[in-house]
Amino acid sequence: MTKLKMEKDIENTNQYSNEDQQIANFLGAGEKVVTKYKNYYATNKRLVFYRKGLFSRNLADMSYSHISSLQLKNNSQVGAIILGIVLLFVGYILQSNFTLYVFGLLVIIIGFLWKTGYYELRASGGEKWQIPIGKAIVADQFIKVIRDHLK
């Protein structure tokens, strides 16, 4: 489900997940969900983050008028790069294990090539949200709705 029609009332439909139906309890009068991505909901008035865990519920919201910046960020896998360097170092100390050299180099290369991306939203009060990119097309559609509300 990438897009909820604004005229549909979430709490009266059976096609949405339990979390989707729970979010209806937190919406104000006249507020409707426009689109959803993972645990993030874009309504016609604000962004809402909602996650229900086994023992907890997390809810946060950010008004469109408070969003000061929206950026796409990509980061290399630093942990893999460090592991590759350690493997190279151990291979150098042992000096007889060429396999560690090759494996270390492969892990370093993978660390640089395998990037994790996310959209970073910053609010005027210093609040920062990081929305991970899973399925890029769906994430891009979600961000487009946010950008449309920022205009």
Q: Give all domains of the chain, ordered by start, each with its CATH number.
A: 10-72+115-150 (2.30.29.30), 78-113 (no CATH)
pLDDT tens for 53-103 read 888 888 888 989 898 888 888 777 888 889 999 988 888 888 766 788 888
Task: Please determine, for residue 116, whether its predicted confidence score (pLDDT) is greater than 60.
Answer: yes
pLDDT at position 10 is 36
Sheet hosting strand 67-76, strand order edge to edge:
67-76, 115-123, 128-132
Summarised one tens digit per residue, pLDDT across range 18-63 is 666 778 888 888 899 988 888 899 999 999 998 888 888 888 889 8
- Please tell me the least confidently modeled range out of 12-21, 39-48, 113-122: 12-21
Distance CA 80, CA 24 (A): 41
Give all strands (DSSP E) within 77-142, no chain letters. Answer: 115-123, 128-132
pTM exceeding the 0.85 threshold for the entire prediction: no
Question: 126 or 42: whose pLDDT is higher?
Answer: 42
Distance CA 127, CA 67 (A): 9
101 close to 61: Cβ distance less than 8 angstroms: no
pLDDT greater than 50 at residue 104 = yes
**Residue 16 predicted with pLDDT over 60:** no
